[in-house]
Structure 1
Amino acid sequence: MNRQSSLSLQPLIGGIIAALLVVISFNAFIVINPGQAGVLSILGKAQDGVLLEGIHFKPPVISTVDVYDLTVQKFEVPAESSTKDLQNLSASFAINFRLDPVKVVDIRRTQGTLQNIVSKIVAPQTQESFKIAAARRTVEQAITQRSELKQDFDMALDSRLEKYGIIVLDTSVIDLNFSPEFSRAVEEKQIAEQRAQRAVYIAQEAEQEAQADINRAKGRAEAQRLLAETLKAQGGQLVLQKEAIEAWKQGGAQMPKVLVMSGDNKSSVPFLFNLGDIQTQ
C-alpha cells in the first residue's frame, strides 16, 4: 500500500520539479529593449559591466537587474539667485538630458533611481549653475543679455552634470522673474523715458513753429520791400489802384455798374459807384 502511494506521488513530484525548472530557466534570462540599459546585482552587489539591448543571463533567485531608460528625459527645474547688483532673480528651466550608458553602473551605485538623479543631482546643479550665470551680470544685463546668460548657464550645467554620467542635450528658460521692487523701477523708468520723448517732441514742434513764423515774417518783409520798390518806380499809382480794388472787394460790395477813370489812367485811382445807388436817391 505504501509502495503504491509512493509510486503515485512520483509523477506529481516530477511535474513540480519540472515546473520549477521551467520557472527558474525563464528567470535566468532578461531581455533589455532598445533605449534601455541594465545593471546586474548578485546578492545585492552591483556587478561591473552594463547590460545593453539584447538577451542576458542572470543567476536565478540570487540576482536582480535594474533597468534604466536611456532615452531623452525632460524635467522642469526652478532656480533662484542674486545678480551682480544684489537683485533677486528667479527662473524656471526645462532640462533635456539622458544617461550615459557607460556610466549606468556608477549611477546605480551612487544615486539609485532616476527620481533620485533628478532630485539629488539635476535640481541642485541647476540651482548652482544659475547662480554662476546670474552673479556675472546686473539685473538689467540679465534682461538685455538673456542669450549670454543662458550660454553661461549651459556651460556651467554641462560641466557639473557630465561627471555624474548625465548628458545635457538642451535647456530652455521657461520663465524669468524679477523682484517687485525692480519691476516697479523698470515701469517708472519707462514712464520717465516716454515723458522725456514727449518733451523732446514738443520742443521740436515749437522750434518748427518758430521757424515757420520767422519764414512768414521774412516773406512779409520781402513783400513790403517789393511794394516799396514798386511805389518808388511807378509813383505808387498802380499799387494804390490795386489796393482800392482789394479794399472794395473785402467790403462785400457788388460789382459796380460804372467804373470811372480819369483821362490819365496810369496815374489816377479808379472811382467806383453804383448807378442803382444814384437812382434810389
Structure 2
Amino acid sequence: MLEQKLKSPKFFKSISIVKFLPLILLIIALFNSYFIVIEGHVGVVKRFGEAKGQENPGLHFKIPFIETVEMIEVRTRKNAEKMASSTKEQMPVTVEVSVNWTVNKEAALDLFKRYGGLTQFEQRILDPRFRSATKDTIPQFEAEQLIQDRASAIQGIERRLAEEMEGFPVVVDNIQIENIILPQKYINSIEIKQTEKNLAAAEEHKLERQRLEALRAVNTADARAKGILKIAEAEAQSILLKGKAEAQAIDAKAKALKNNPLIVKLTEAQAWDGKLPSTMMGEGVMPIMDIRDKSESN
C-alpha cells in the first residue's frame, strides 16, 4: 500500500508543491510588500485594521499580510439630491440640487478614523445636513422668486450648509439648483400670466408707435407751416424793401428836378418826337386854331 502511494503521480506532485511552497510564499510576500498611491488620493495604512498613517501619491512599502492600505480620494466630489419641499406660499415643489465637496488632504487620516471612509461620511454626515440646509432654505422663497432668483436660494443653502459643516475636515462649495419641478397648474398659470404680459407689452408698443407717428405728423405740419410763414415773411419783406426803394428813387428824382430846372427841359427834349403840336390853346378866349399844314392834313 505504501509502495503504491510512493509510486503514484499525486504523491510526486504533492512533493513538488511542498518543495516550491517557500518560493511561492516569498513571491506573494514581495508583491504584498509595496503599494502605489495614485494622484488625487492618499493612502491610509492600516495594521490589523488600525489606521496608522497616510501616504501621498507615489510608491510606498508595507509589511506583507499585516498592513493593508485604504485609498481616500482628495479630489472634488459631487453629491446630487432630489428632494420634496414647499415654497413660502405652501406650494409643493421638488428640487434637484448638487454640491461639490473636497476632503482636506491633511485630514484624510482623521476622517477615516472618525467615519470609516468617504462613503460612510457622505451617508452619515454630508447628505443629511445637505438635505436639511436645502429644506430649510427653499420655504423662504415664493415660487416665482425661486424661479427668477435662484442665486439667492443658492446663497441661502450655502450659508446654512457652511454652518452645518463647520468643524468637519471637508470643504463644501459650488452648490447648484439643477432643476425646480412645480405643479402643472402653477406652470399653466405662469404661462397665462406671461402671455397676458406679452400682449400688454405689445399693445403698449403699438400705442407708443401711434403716439410717435402722430407726433411726427404734428412736427411735419408745424415745420411746413413755419416754412410757409417764412416764405410769406420773406415775400412781404421783399415787397416792403422794393416799395421803399422805389419811394426813395421817386423822392430823389423829385429833389433833383426841383434843384435843377434844366433837367425838366432835358427830359422834355428827350421825350419830344420831333413834331410840332397840332393845336394850341391861347390865352383868354382865343379860339382853337388849326395851324397844321394843309398838305399834312391831306
Q: What is the TM-score of this pair, normalised by structure 1?
A: 0.58
Letter in 2 for 1:31: I
1:89–1:15 Cα change, 3 Å? same
SS of residue in 1 equivalent to 2:60 = strand
Of residues 72, 95, 100, the one that matches 2:99 is 95
Question: How far off is 1:37 after superposition?
Answer: 0.9
Q: What is the TM-score of this pair, normalised by structure 2?
A: 0.55
Counterpart in 1 of 2:110? 106
Question: How far off is 1:69 after superposition?
Answer: 2.0
Question: How far off is 1:205 after superposition?
Answer: 9.2
Counterpart in 1 of 2:56? 52
Moved more, 17-26 or 87-96: 17-26
Check whether the contact 2:97–2:176 (CA below 8 A) recurs between aligned residues.
yes
SS of residue in 2 equivalent to 1:38 = strand
SS of residue in 1 equivalent to 2:158 = helix
Find the aligned partners of 1:200 and 1:105 in 2 and give their Cα distance: 66
SS of residue in 2 equivalent to 1:30 = strand
Find the aligned partners of 1:100 and 1:160 in 2 and give their Cα distance: 17
Counterpart in 2 of 1:40? 45
Find the aligned partners of 1:44 and 1:163 in 2 and give their Cα distance: 26
Counterpart in 1 of 2:255? none
SS of residue in 2 equivalent to 1:151 = helix
Counterpart in 2 of 1:124? 128
In terms of Rg, which structure is larger?
A: 2
Of residues 128, 143, 153, the one that matches 2:157 is 153
Check whether the contact 2:150–2:177 (CA below 8 A) recurs between aligned residues.
no
Counterpart in 2 of 1:65? 69
Of residues 1, 25, 35, the one that matches 1:20 is 25
Moved more, 108-117 or 177-186: 108-117
Letter in 1 for 2:74: L
Counterpart in 2 of 1:86? 90
Question: How far off is 1:208 after superposition?
Answer: 9.9
1:186–1:12 Cα change, 3 Å? closer
Counterpart in 2 of 1:173? 177
Find the aligned partners of 1:201 and 1:171 in 2 and give their Cα distance: 40
Letter in 2 for 1:129: A
Question: How far off is 1:178 after superposition?
Answer: 1.8
Question: How far off is 1:186 after superposition?
Answer: 2.0
Find the aligned partners of 1:98 and 1:14 in 2 and give their Cα distance: 51
Find the aligned partners of 2:168 and 2:78 in 1 and give their Cα distance: 17
Question: How far off is 1:191 after superposition?
Answer: 4.1
1:172–1:15 Cα change, 3 Å? same
Percent identity over the alignment? 22
Find the aligned partners of 1:205 and 1:11 in 2 and give their Cα distance: 103
Check whether the contact 1:36–1:53 (CA below 8 A) recurs between aligned residues.
yes
Moved more, 24-33 or 162-171: 162-171
Letter in 2 for 1:77: E
Counterpart in 2 of 1:264? none
Counterpart in 1 of 2:239? none
Check whether the contact 1:80–1:130 (CA below 8 A) recurs between aligned residues.
no
1:19–1:188 Cα change, 3 Å? same
Counterpart in 1 of 2:187? 183
SS of residue in 1 equivalent to 2:55 = coil
Counterpart in 2 of 1:260? none
1:114–1:207 Cα change, 3 Å? same
Gaps of 5+ in 2: 1-13, 219-298
Counterpart in 2 of 1:273? none
SS of residue in 2 equivalent to 1:50 = strand
Find the aligned partners of 1:102 and 1:167 in 2 and give their Cα distance: 12
Letter in 2 for 1:28: S
Of residues 73, 78, 103, the one that matches 1:74 is 78
Question: How far off is 1:67 after superposition?
Answer: 0.8
Check whether the contact 1:78–1:127 (CA below 8 A) recurs between aligned residues.
no
SS of residue in 2 equivalent to 1:106 = helix
Deviations 1:226-279 (A, max 9, x none): xxxxxxxxxxxxxxxxxxxxxxxxxxxxxxxxxxxxxxxxxxxxxxxxxxxxxx
